[in-house]
A and B are shown apart, each in its own frame.
Chain A
Amino acid sequence: MSVDRLLRRKAPQGYLEEWELSISTPQEQRQNPLHTAMIFKLKTLYLALPITFIAEVSALRTVHNTPHQKERGLINAYGRLRSVISLVDLLEIDSEEKQFEEKFFILLKREESIWAFAVSEICGIHHYRVLEKAPIRAVKTSYSHFKGIVTWQKQSVAFIDEDLLFSTLGSTSL
């Protein structure tokens, strides 16, 4: 009760306006917080994924085929056996060259599940606020699972919809 009284007492002159000014964030910033994504290159396509789902990046390792499951493979990443998926197949990226330089493996992690996929290049980490909507034609794939486009170093980078990706992965692992 006394605390109540204490807190409801009248504020000194100009006090409220002063504080409001100093702690308010610009409208645009508040509506668009900063996000971080990792940009990588797969065949000829530049793609991005939120950094929260990227667990590790590993050098190229030998892939062991999985019996009974042609779509998956197995690699050794830092001493643990990990499942390998083909993002190329999953995103239905078609390209003329069947073989391409796979240099790295990116390990995705969501909750307890970890998947690895091969990429040609790791471009780096990019901060952004908004995703631009881009016409699907701009991205050379029939896969519609892109959330939007980010511009990075004059390149259009397609942002993968991680929810859709994980639900596809989850269903194929059954």
Chain B
Amino acid sequence: MIALFYRELQDHVESIEKHLKGKSIEDLQSILKSICAIKGGAKLVQKPSIERVARELETLLKQAIELAEPLDHRQCQVVQKATGLFKEIYETQGLSAKEGELKKLQQEIEASEQTIVRLFFIELERQIAILSESLLIFEQTPNTIAVESLLRAAHSIKGAARAVGYGALVGFVHSVEEVFTKWKERPLSAEIIETLFSCIDLLYQLTKSDVRAFSTALYSDFFSDAAYKLQHFSPSPLSLKSSQKRANVQNATVRVTADYLTQLMGLAGELLIESRWLEHFSETLLKIKRGQNDLLEYVDHLQSEDLESRKKSKLQQKAHLCSKQITTYMNSIELFIRRHSTLSDRLYRQVIESRMCPFSDGVENLPRLVRDLAKQLNKKIYFEIIGKSTAIDREILGQLKAPLEHLLKNAIDHGIELPEERVALGKPVEGHIRLEARHKAGMLHIVITDDGRGLDLDKIKLKAYELRLIDSLSLDLTETKLVEFLFLPGFTTAEKISEISGRGIGLNAVQDMIQQVHGQVQIAARMGKGATFCLQLPLTLSVIRALMVSISGEPYAFALARIEHAVVIESSEVETVAGLFYFYLNGKSIALVFAHQVLGVAAASQTAKLSVVVLSNGVNYYGVIVDALLGEKELVAQKLDPTIAKIDNIACGAFMENGDPILVIDTEEMIYSINRLFTKQKSRDRTLGMGE
């Protein structure tokens, strides 16, 4: 058998060598065939080392065929090495001597595989992020810590690039290392830093593209160019500032799908509900204990004539024993219930918290954005982020990106003045923008402050007058009221629209986005001194503070942040105008509608008093009549399954304390539905001849 195999091996090796000389796809394919045959034969005669090498060669050939490219020099070498080894093996008919070499060859071939390159890309991406961050810090404040971090990242990239054989990159990174090792004697110019940034950008793009892009000559040239620049630039020092300390803590992370966490949360929630039942149960046990005690009392009070003293004492003994046992068991179950409750409570809280991530995760791109924008507008900006480790709900962070970017753009474009202006005003030439995230009073506060122009309240008033939002200019409006105008769509005091801002849609969109996550935006400004934007958000989207109500005998909920009022009124307070119902609250007339009408569910019995939840879309107010107000509760939001087709007017589901489902109403949708209902009613009344 082995002899057979070796004979075959010889045939195949000869064939491979012949076809290696050719450069066509057919040659590659026939080489592949031979290799497959060798692999199969090796498996049959149980020579795993040969089989493994053949397998690696097979992958190599397959890739080459897929890329429709002939084998490059290095790959040819590898194949020749393999055939050479095979030749020696069948000539000497001895395998054991060649085992080591075969293994080395196998590993070598592995290294030329694409998968290694993919790993390289992942590592490269990571190191680029660190490189970019450190470079930004260095640019602001050249210091040793930033440089050390830069050098570490560069070193890692160099090593990785060498392992996959990207010479141009190795050369480039090496010059980067050299430049930074000598940064003190030879300070980096702004140009060089710019070059470095563009190199980083290019590298980042390359990690997103396919393998081939990396080895084309175009990029080799680019990096060789950059390396040259690095070696030959003229040093010019950047302005020095006080050094910054950087904490570099990296925790090990695990990737988990969002759905997995939702399932975990569901189970943890159920566990909590079950543990509450246990508490009720322990109370019923108390009843048993009391019953026991009563029994004991009766036994004790048995007159001695009713029973023989011996029988009575036996009875007493038994009763006492039972009573003692119950007490012991009750104590132990109470202890268990307490432990169980604590554990399930903790589990629940941990799972809810797992939705959190640090603030820094979502703001990674902002420093770069600020820097580039400042450069574009010729402004000098000092940007700092405080509270990077503040925990934020993942989803909220995702929604925050766009508003934060917009607010920063505003601050840089409109807020901070040009350097000359600032000096003339006696301000430091560098504009200061601060982004801060912190927890305060159970809410998340995100504050963007700048020390720029602030808000021109008179301009706002003028614009409001122009747009006929106010009747006269002599109205005395507080800053708070004036500032509210800024949030209206289309409102802007900018004279011209720049590419960056001024269109008047931004703040309105920001407010929308923030309100969608049940938050609020507040602005405070001092004319000439700067502006502060404060975003108040709930700590987590998964927990909604809600008002529970009963509609059609079933539980529903309104998010507290989305309702204006909740009142109970007498039916006598209801007025009718043109077929529609109204009532008055704080001087405002509020249209009334039955919740069950809007939701299309059965009506409950009428009561003399009406429970009304007042909603508003900022312009109009609507009163929704429910069966009863049940109370306030923190509910854990459950997204509705895709199987459950989207239910109109319902935002999501949740569970009550006893595990029963409760539906949370989407206030925006409901207002829309109410309006539709009114329009329908009005048109119906009109057709019926009931006009106004």
Contact = CB atoms under 8 A, between A and B. Distances in A.
Given A2-B41, A69-B647, A79-B268, 19 more contacts: A1-B37, A2-B8, A3-B41, A3-B44, A62-B660, A64-B554, A64-B660, A65-B601, A76-B655, A76-B659, A76-B660, A79-B265, A79-B655, A81-B653, A81-B661, A82-B644, A83-B644, A113-B643, A114-B641
Contacts of B643: 82-83, 112-115, 173
A75 to B, nearest CB: 6
B377 interface: no
A65 B552 contact: yes
B650 interface: yes
Contacts of A61: 659-660
25 contacts: A2-B41, A3-B40, A3-B44, A62-B660, A65-B552, A66-B644, A66-B647, A67-B601, A68-B599, A68-B648, A74-B653, A74-B663, A76-B655, A79-B263, A79-B266, A79-B267, A79-B268, A80-B266, A81-B638, A82-B643, A83-B644, A112-B643, A113-B641, A115-B643, A173-B644
A129 B267 CA distance: 38
Interface residues of B, number: 42
Contacts of A65: 552, 554, 601
Contact of B661 (A5, A64, A173, A174): A64
A98 B1 CA distance: 78
Interface of B: 1, 4-5, 7-8, 11, 37, 40-41, 44, 262-263, 265-270, 552, 554-555, 599-601, 638, 640-645, 647-650, 653, 655, 659-663
B645 A2 contact: no
A20 B269 CA distance: 58
A19 interface: no
A18 to B, nearest CB: 23
A78 interface: yes
A6 interface: yes
Nearest to B266: A79
Interface in A46-63: 61-62
Contacts of A83: 641, 643-644
B39 to A, nearest CB: 11
A80 B262 CA distance: 9
Contacts of B5: 2
Nearest to B658: A62
Given A3-B40, A76-B655, A67 B663 contact: yes
B270 A78 contact: yes
A68 B645 contact: no
A79 B274 CA distance: 11
A174 B653 contact: no
Contacts of A78: 266-267, 270
Grouping DSSP codes into helix (H, G, I), strand (E, B) and loop, the B interface class, with mixed when no group exceeds half, is mixed
Nearest to B1: A6
Nearest to B662: A64
A65 B601 CA distance: 8
Interface of A: 1-3, 5-6, 61-62, 64-69, 72, 74-76, 78-83, 112-115, 173-174
A69 B659 CA distance: 22
B93 to A, nearest CB: 16
A66 B4 CA distance: 75
Contacts of A81: 638, 640-641, 644, 653, 655, 661
Contacts of A79: 263, 265-270, 655
Contacts of B40: 3
Contacts of B599: 67-68
A76 B7 contact: no
A80 B643 CA distance: 12
A109 B555 CA distance: 27
Among B599, B642, B644, chain A packs the most CB atoms within 10 A around the CB of: B644
A75 B661 contact: yes
Contact of B641 (A5, A76, A80, A174): A80
B585 to A, nearest CB: 26
Contacts of B641: 80-83, 113-114
Nearest to B40: A3
A7 to B, nearest CB: 9
Contact of A1 (B8, B601, B650): B8
Contacts of A69: 645, 647
A3 B647 CA distance: 64
A96 B660 CA distance: 30
Contacts of A113: 641-643
Contacts of A64: 554-555, 660-663
A76 B44 contact: no
Contacts of B653: 74, 81
A59 to B, nearest CB: 11
B685 to A, nearest CB: 24
Contacts of B648: 67-68
B644 A74 contact: yes
Contacts of A67: 599-601, 647-650, 663
Contacts of A2: 4-5, 7-8, 41
Nearest to B596: A67
Contacts of B647: 66-69
Contacts of B4: 2, 5-6
A11 to B, nearest CB: 17
B637 to A, nearest CB: 10
Contacts of B269: 79
A138 B531 CA distance: 80
